[in-house]
Structure 1
């Protein structure tokens, strides 16, 4: 390898992120929010020609709100008045046998403002083509002084040393080597970083080849039976409305010996001579259900599709990856800055891998319905039978808890709560400050969302009036740990949160809670910043 850069001595960059898709850019922006610089390399020079994902769930939107990008995402996404409607069509030329409908963003916002009881999210979901999200986040990263974005730069290989990783790169000027303190692979399902780290993936479901046709069409045939987000057709094809206007994607499994061009296959499976104004892009992809055996190998870590792969059913891929990026970002940032202990990096896999495994099962759950529908139609089941079957499965899209209520209850950097864990409900969020979970969204008396007052650092939300936060701040200062003490005088918010003292992490998950201060704030803070093991008997469990 050539050495266009000096690879001796101090690393050129403390953190090198490979892949500037939504996950890699979110990670870079999260690190910057923590005051930590990173280098972000991307082999492509422009945005992806193909949107891939098209759905940001409400929790992802809450996390991205912290980065200041939600308004732009809303402005460039599908309008708030459009509901998410799923059509299930036995024959594309006929009316659907069933239609699932999930409320529009406007309706969800209205419901949340009317209740204000912690059962809704601060942000509702957003439909947005993934390549537009990529462009928004990449532009933000490129403009940030703490992010060194290098496009047209490919990773050829990695050599991990005791105190650094040597990264072999190639850009327009040739090949060279660079040193990094840590490398994070956000480079997709075929991750070079994962391969170089020697981390295998564990398959958990079916695998198969698929084709996508990304196209524009104003043919009224597409909406002959009304508007929809997805139309799942029993002849083996799914249509996705990308913008509620004229941009679409059709995807379908590739049958053996089916060698016609993608548009011909699309028309054949739809059973209509659909007018296509423009084919923007076609792609072949392999559907996988897999999770990496581990998320870390020394100084090399994985996030996003490099760590887990899902089918598109359920919209888990990018959303799980954004959760990875935020979780890893604050932990890696804290460790690099020196106030976080080594337990933070161990806590990354301990928290995020179980979420990926759970989401994989939820993806498989919906994929089963996707598979059974065409099989039932082919077996001769009547329209009424198909409609009855699908009616029983409509709960699949009323799945707020999957998005909002994942809990890091077994995390080594969360202090367990006393008593019995609150129930988990498929259809809605459970308003609780149970340690490891997301605290409830509630608006204060002046209309301010409590979430918006949480800091980029740890935040001690203090509903009491006895000055308990002073000792916590002093203990944090001794450790160089940033801690925001947030007194809140709001009886309604206190009733929803349920405890006088709640310690919230930078990723808006609860690290500890108590009715009274612990005997020793230092013990609590050392545990949640990964500097000591949890398990003390000093009264910090509450």
Structure 2
């Protein structure tokens, strides 16, 4: 294997998403994975609108939607004594609850289905996947990274040279520790076994395509358990006490269902640890962390997988720009500055959900969960890839119901009028910078800046290409009727102002050139 611009270690949600968005921007990475394939287990489920917007730009959103499980598109999400009841708390909301923040609908695909779809699309775009390959060590210098790699089929060892390495090897992979990055957090909450089983639960399960029940029941060994549906009708996953034998496992599953004599057929099992650990930093030289290598969190809340995929979405364009010489290495400092506060917030939110849904003894220590709309749509990025405004408040979240439109926030979702009908600014995203301008000279100034810097950019003239029929864009963007907004490829506002002639210097700033 020769030299690579980027090597990604780990072909889970984080690693494959990073590879996908790198390839979308013109850099075909090599992905090393010790397992023989992508995941064959359901694992994490559900894709929120934020990442579905990104997948739409990469041409994989429809493949993921096609993998939605059978049944009515919906999520049953509750705390109960058992699947049969009684219900203690209901979290279920309509699937279109976030439609005011995004034009993209969520999906309900399993991790196995998403990994397969993303891997296939990444390969189409030029990614190289090497399964049964383990990265055993690495060293780095000013020019690149050297990895020691073992082929697990032939037991041969080779040295691989890369310009950059993305550690997507999970919380037990070891690359984070190899480069000397520590972690902090609440630590472990205990081990469990995930048991795949077959049983007829139709009389209790309802019609939703996804059913997730957090069981609080003193008859269980730890007082709590979890039941979740899979893509296969009649097959379920239960989180049971670690190391339980076959008879104990059947008894725990029947308790969680609420049926003492139900026929249960165990198909397989695996162990996992619920924990809360966040890396102290997401970058060490030429090594960058994503996914569980950066933030390990309990599954309560369902945002671990989404956060991992978003890591790849937000890192992909930056790393590609640096690898292609369109940006300076300093652009990668923004990966830590932006993604670490968000990863920490999501990890804390999942722990707060754990306290509500399974561990009430933790509630005094961790507090109440953040409003989910704010968590998912209200993140404010700070760091070198944003031209911050001097008067902007120093906060990491804002209420998305009242968007400020300022640099560091998501470009607002409003409906504009275009040649093909209504369109949201978030539907104009892609592997390019985006400029929306009401200045008569704004579009030409944007294109001139892009040409000078050698980057891909799309400019839309408001009042000509697009129209703001009810003034929503002028209000939510915060620019008024004559302003200009620069949006990064990941949908984050990089700058706004009234002088489009500033775009060249702003882009130089954002790209660390």
TM-score (norm 1): 0.82
CA distance in 1, matches of 2:80, 2:207: 10
Q: Which of the numbers 473, 481, 488 marks the counterpart of 1:494?
A: 473
Residue-by-residue CA offset, 1:491-540 (whole Å, 9 max, x unaligned): 2353343322110001010000113335x433212111122xxxxxxxxx
Using a 3 Å threshold, how does the CA distance of structure 1 residues 415 and 176 change in structure 2: closer, same or farther?
A: same
What is the CA distance between 1:217 and its match in structure 2? 2.1
What is the CA distance between 1:271 and its match in structure 2? 5.1
1:262 aligns with: 249
How many residues get paired? 490
Moved more, 353-362 or 467-476: 467-476
What is the CA distance between 1:176 and its match in structure 2? 1.3
1:124 aligns with: 105
Higher percent of residues as strand? 2
1:65 aligns with: 56
What is the CA distance between 1:260 and its match in structure 2? 5.8
Using a 3 Å threshold, how does the CA distance of structure 1 residues 94 and 473 change in structure 2: closer, same or farther?
A: closer
Using a 3 Å threshold, how does the CA distance of structure 1 residues 225 and 317 change in structure 2: closer, same or farther?
A: closer
1:401 aligns with: 374
CA distance in 2, matches of 1:431, 1:79: 36
Contact 1:25/1:137, CA 8 A, preserved across alignment: yes
Q: Which of the numbers 427, 437, 445 marks the counterpart of 1:462?
A: 437
Q: Which of the numbers 223, 239, 257 marks the counterpart of 1:251?
A: 239
What is the CA distance between 1:353 and its match in structure 2? 0.4
Using a 3 Å threshold, how does the CA distance of structure 1 residues 265 and 79 change in structure 2: closer, same or farther?
A: closer
Residue-by-residue CA offset, 1:391-437 (whole Å, 9 max, x unaligned): xx9x96962221122110x2122111354559998885433421111
Contact 2:380/2:395, CA 8 A, preserved across alignment: no
What is the CA distance between 1:147 and its match in structure 2? 1.0
CA distance in 1, matches of 2:263, 2:117: 28
CA distance in 2, matches of 1:321, 1:227: 23
TM-score (norm 2): 0.87
2:318 aligns with: 331
What is the CA distance between 1:326 and its match in structure 2? 1.3
CA distance in 1, matches of 2:31, 2:91: 40
Contact 1:215/1:276, CA 8 A, preserved across alignment: no
Moved more, 227-236 or 349-358: 227-236
Matched ranges for 1:176-191 at <5 A: 176-191=158-173
Contact 2:355/2:361, CA 8 A, preserved across alignment: no
- Report the secondary structure of 1:289's partner residue: strand
Structure 1: which 5+ residue stretches go unaligned? Answer: 6-10, 113-118, 377-392, 532-542
Using a 3 Å threshold, how does the CA distance of structure 1 residues 303 and 96 change in structure 2: closer, same or farther?
A: same
Using a 3 Å threshold, how does the CA distance of structure 1 residues 371 and 427 change in structure 2: closer, same or farther?
A: farther
User: Is residue 237 of structure 1 aligned with residue 225 of structure 2?
Assistant: yes
Using a 3 Å threshold, how does the CA distance of structure 1 residues 198 and 407 change in structure 2: closer, same or farther?
A: same
Structure 2: which 5+ residue stretches go unaligned? Answer: 218-223
Using a 3 Å threshold, how does the CA distance of structure 1 residues 426 and 369 change in structure 2: closer, same or farther?
A: farther
Contact 1:213/1:263, CA 8 A, preserved across alignment: no
User: Is residue 95 of structure 1 aligned with residue 74 of structure 2?
Assistant: no
CA distance in 1, matches of 2:503, 2:110: 45
- Report the secondary structure of 1:128's partner residue: strand
What is the CA distance between 1:243 and its match in structure 2? 4.0
1:48 aligns with: 39
Using a 3 Å threshold, how does the CA distance of structure 1 residues 26 and 228 change in structure 2: closer, same or farther?
A: closer
2:447 aligns with: 473
What is the CA distance between 1:310 and its match in structure 2? 0.5
CA distance in 2, matches of 1:44, 1:12: 23
What RMSD, in angstroms, separates the aligned Cα atoms of the two structures?
3.0
What is the CA distance between 1:270 and its match in structure 2? 4.7
CA distance in 1, matches of 2:336, 2:361: 38
Q: Which of the numbers 201, 208, 217 marks the counterpart of 2:183?
A: 201
Residue-by-residue CA offset, 1:267-294 (whole Å, 9 max, x unaligned): 3555533645643431111111011111
1:537 aligns with: none
CA distance in 2, matches of 1:422, 1:81: 42
Contact 2:137/2:178, CA 8 A, preserved across alignment: yes
Matched ranges for 1:298-317 at <5 A: 298-317=285-304
Using a 3 Å threshold, how does the CA distance of structure 1 residues 424 and 522 change in structure 2: closer, same or farther?
A: closer
Contact 1:87/1:228, CA 8 A, preserved across alignment: no
CA distance in 1, matches of 2:11, 2:273: 21
Contact 1:424/1:430, CA 8 A, preserved across alignment: no
2:145 aligns with: 165
